[in-house]
């Protein structure tokens, strides 16, 4: 028996927002200071949190639970100790220049757009008093939300893109061709035909862009150690597929420790198409290393920060040459797991037959995940990236365009 493992976390988020919504320009500032205590009592966890100024209200509760005799089940033998800094500061003037430039670019092409830039300065500090362990992270994170739209003959077409970087110059570097790409997507939507119900059924599908990243995002849910339904260890997907939770990949969410102060490390989840590990927290380690906890003010959940899928050997041109009948999906309105399927609703898609492609809309894809060895056909050499949120948690994914078998429904 022993005392509960208690991690004290202080979190500060100082942010500003610059927004251009067509007929208004807004600049807003925000700061929040919070504190949380997480006490691991046996195989459970108790979380107490408040604003920093109200900390005195929760300390009696923490002192009470700290006195409980318990078997410590929280992989308490290892902690990150030290400091880590990521990113560079952005000025409000620089943010205004970016937002104004993008707004003018869309306007010049006849589109309306909402362009919003949010710049965060975050400081997270963990302290485990009983182990004399302290870890501090300071991060600048800049998020750019772009929502162009157009109304033509009573039909509204819209698209979106969310970009993020810890360095303002890197964020600007990602803007090349952004306007042209989104204008093209709006044009395809406006010209898309309604999907012919006679074409429902099995289709070879090329998932590109956000659609490719979303597919592996849903697959990662089946590799979380706390999920009741998971892909079993040693299950086979597609030979050659390698999926890694990589905190050191040069993306916006690099880290050296997770939300439970466990040291960061590269975790291989799929190795040559075989499931070899799960995403884990201290309470779901089950004898393996933790390191994937997300959640400062709730029970930490095993989720990825940066999910990286290594590219394959197909050239995109080869995909169109190999399959005479193909659906190509890049931008999606929604993707989620339903039963044994990943359901994907595209913003629009392309039906390509004998290299002639026609934009279509008004259908959904169902991608079975029961027999992934039959579902996954191949991975391309090109890569796509996506920054998104789930449960108020930022995620970053990198994945190649992927050829899959899917079922099209309307």
pLDDT of 27 higher than 90: yes
pLDDT of 179? 94
pLDDT of 397? 98
Which residues, listed in sequence order, are joined to residue 161 by a DSSP beta bridge?
146
Q: Which domains does the chain have, with CATH numbers?
A: 5-191 (3.30.2290.10), 193-409 (no CATH)
**Region 270-299: what's the mean pLDDT?**
94
**Region 19-40: what's the mean pLDDT?**
95
**Region 373-400: what's the mean pLDDT?**
95
198 versus 17: the higher-pLDDT residue is 17
Q: pLDDT category, 369, cuts 50, 70, 90?
A: confident
**Region 361-366: what's the mean pLDDT?**
93
Q: pLDDT (tens digit, 9 = 90+) per residue, 196-212? A: 888 899 999 999 999 99
Q: What distances in angstroms separate CA 165 from CA 120, 143, 172, 180, 366, one per listed residue? A: 11, 7, 9, 21, 32
Across 104-196, the runs of DSSP E, i.e. the strands, are: 112-128, 133-152, 155-158, 161-165, 193-194
Q: Which residues contact 153 (CB under 8 A, 6 or more apart)?
A: none
pLDDT of 153? 66
Least confident of 39-53, 126-140, 147-161: 147-161
Q: pLDDT (tens digit, 9 = 90+) per residue, 287-300? A: 899 999 999 999 99
The span from the CA of 264 to the CA of 280, in Å, is: 12
Q: pLDDT category, 151, cuts 50, 70, 90?
A: confident
DSSP codes of every residue in 36-79: EEEEEETTEEEEEEEEGGGGGGTHHHHHHHHT--B---S-TT--
Q: What percent of the chain is modeled with pLDDT above 90?
A: 80
The span from the CA of 149 to the CA of 72, in Å, is: 54
Please report how the helices 178-191 and 92-108 are oriented relative to each other, as an axis angle in degrees rounded to 10.
40
56 versus 73: the higher-pLDDT residue is 56
Residues 164/174, Cβ–Cβ less than 8 Å: no
Q: pLDDT category, 2, cuts 50, 70, 90?
A: confident
pLDDT of 329? 95
pLDDT of 72? 66
With vertex at residue 171, the alpha carbon angle to CA 303 and CA 256, rounded to the nearest 5 degrees, is 40
pLDDT of 73? 63
pLDDT of 338 higher than 90: no
User: Max CA-CA distance within the chain?
Assistant: 72
Q: What distances in angstroms separate CA 85 from CA 16, 79, 166, one per listed residue? A: 20, 18, 10
Helix (H, G, I), strand (E, B) or coil at 230: coil
Q: Which residue, 179, 189, 84, is CA-closest to 134?
A: 84
pLDDT of 118 higher than 90: yes
Helix (H, G, I), strand (E, B) or coil at 241: coil
Mean pLDDT of the chain: 93
The span from the CA of 67 to the CA of 3, in Å, is: 7
pLDDT of 354 higher than 80: no
pLDDT of 372? 86
Q: pLDDT (tens digit, 9 = 90+) per residue, 227-241? A: 988 899 999 988 999
DSSP H or E run through 380: strand 376-390
Q: pLDDT category, 323, cuts 50, 70, 90?
A: very high
- Cβ atoms within 10 Å of 132's Cβ, excluding its own: 9
Q: Which residue, 289, 302, 296, is CA-closest to 230?
A: 302
pLDDT of 54 higher than 90: yes
The span from the CA of 120 to the CA of 267, in Å, is: 28
pLDDT of 4 higher than 90: no
- Cβ atoms within 10 Å of 251's Cβ, excluding its own: 20
pLDDT of 132? 92
pLDDT of 245 higher than 70: yes
Q: pLDDT (tens digit, 9 = 90+) per residue, 57-90? A: 999 999 999 888 877 666 667 999 999 999 999 9
**Region 251-260: what's the mean pLDDT?**
97
**Reported pTM:** 0.94
């Amino acid at each position: 028996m022993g005392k509960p493992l208690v991690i004290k976390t202080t979190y500060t988020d100082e942010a500003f927002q610059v927004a251009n919504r067509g007929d208004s320009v807004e600049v807003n500032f925000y700061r929040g200071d919070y504190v949380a205590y997480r006490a691991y009592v046996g195989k459970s966890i108790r979380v107490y949190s408040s604003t920093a100024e109200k900390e005195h209200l929760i300390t009696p509760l923490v002192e009470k639970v700290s006195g409980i005799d318990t078997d410590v089940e929280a992989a308490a033998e290892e902690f990150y100790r030290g400091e880590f800094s990521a990113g560079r500061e952005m000025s409000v003037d620089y943010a205004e220049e970016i937002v104004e430039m993008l707004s003018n670019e869309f306007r010049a092409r006849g589109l309306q757009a909402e362009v919003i830039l949010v710049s965060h300065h975050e400081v997270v500090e963990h302290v485990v008093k009983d182990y004399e362990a302290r870890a501090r992270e300071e991060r600048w994170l800049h998020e750019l939300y772009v929502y162009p739209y157009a109304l033509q003959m009573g039909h509204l077409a819209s698209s979106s893109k969310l970009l993020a970087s810890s360095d303002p110059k890197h964020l600007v570097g990602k803007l090349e061709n952004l306007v042209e790409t989104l204008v093209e997507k709006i044009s395809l939507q406006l010209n898309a035909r309604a999907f012919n119900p006679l074409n429902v059924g099995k289709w070879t599908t090329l998932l590109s862009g956000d659609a490719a990243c979303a597919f592996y995002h849903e697959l990662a849910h089946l590799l979380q150690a706390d999920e009741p339904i998971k892909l079993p260890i040693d299950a086979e997907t597609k030979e050659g597929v390698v999926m890694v939770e990589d905190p050191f990949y040069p993306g916006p969410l690099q880290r050296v420790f997770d939300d439970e102060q466990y040291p960061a490390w590269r975790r291989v989840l799929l190795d040559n198409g075989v499931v070899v590990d799960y995403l884990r927290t201290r309470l779901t380690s089950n004898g393996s290393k933790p390191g994937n906890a997300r959640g400062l003010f709730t029970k930490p959940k095993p989720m990825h920060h940066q999910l990286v899928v290594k590219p394959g050997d197909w050239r995109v041109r080869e995909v169109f040459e190999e399959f005479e009948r193909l659906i190509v999906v890049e931008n999606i309105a929604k993707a989620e797991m339903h039963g044994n399927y990943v359901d994907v609703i595209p913003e629009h898609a392309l039906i390509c037959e004998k290299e002639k492609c026609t934009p279509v809309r008004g259908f959904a894809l169902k991608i079975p995940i029961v027999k992934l060895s039959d579902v996954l056909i191949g991975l391309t050499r090109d890569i796509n990236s996506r920054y998104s949120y789930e449960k108020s948690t930022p995620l970053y994914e990198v994945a190649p365009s992927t050829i899959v078998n899917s079922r099209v429904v309307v």
